[in-house]
Structure formats: structure tokens, C-alpha cells
Structure 1
Amino acid sequence: MSDADKYWYNLKTGEVQQGFEAPSADRAGPFDTAEDAARAPEIMRERSRVWAAEDAAEDD
């Protein structure tokens, strides 16, 4: 499956889209399923928490 066929979360509208419907600056993804794309904000927050914890551990 190419990225053009995958699902994206539109950061401006909060909608799930398939393919390159929105400009790249407005898309988060790609995701393999529409369900994962719908969870994009939650996934991004969790990844940010993990990265912040890793950065903090490296600074110690």
C-alpha cells in the first residue's frame, strides 16, 4: 500500500482522509487504517511524552 492509499489525519479539520487530499502541512500520518488516523491526536501526544521522557533521561 503506497502512502497515497493510506489514511491521514487532517490537522485543520480534524477529519480522516484517504490519500493526499490536504496539503502536506495539514496532514498527520500516514496510518494503515482509518481508525488509527482518527486517533492521531492521541498517538501524537503519547509519542511526544515518550520523546520528552527520553530527552530528560539523556540530560540526566
Structure 2
Amino acid sequence: MRDDDQWYYCVTDGTVRQGKESRGLDRMGPYPDRAAAERALEIAKERNRAADESDEEWRN
């Protein structure tokens, strides 16, 4: 899949864009479709929670 076909979430203004329209530091993704990009913050929160739980299990 080409970069222009993938979807990104712009953290600066909260928009979802197809292709690399925003700066790399302002962009989350790529995501396979618009719906996934719209959930970027939720997906990141879920991944962070899972990583935190894994770290806690490792410590114990």
C-alpha cells in the first residue's frame, strides 16, 4: 500500500487525512482506513494501557 493511500490522524488540529499532508511530528499512523485513523487516540490509549499492564506483570 502506498503512503498516499493510507490514513493519518493530525494531532495538531484533530483531523483525519489521507496521505502525509501534515508534519511527521504532528501525525499518527499510518492506519489502513479512515475509521481506524479516527480512533487514533483511543487506539493509542488502549496500547499504552496494555503496555503498562505488561510492565506491571513483568515487575511482579
TM-score by length of structure 1 reads 0.94
CA distance in 1 between partners of 2:15 and 2:50 (Å): 25
User: For residues 16-59 of structure 1, what are the alpha-carbon distances to aligned partners after superposition, in whole Å with 9 as ceiling and x for unaligned?
Assistant: 00111000000000001001000001100000000000011111
Runs of 4+ residues deviating >4 angstroms: none
- Residue aligning to 2:9: 9
Task: Indicate the RMSD between aligned Cα atoms, in angstroms.
Answer: 0.8
TM-score by length of structure 2 reads 0.94
What is the identity percentage for the equivalent residue pairs of Structure 1 and Structure 2?
37
- Residue aligning to 1:20: 20
Identify unmatched segments of 5+ residues in structure 2: none
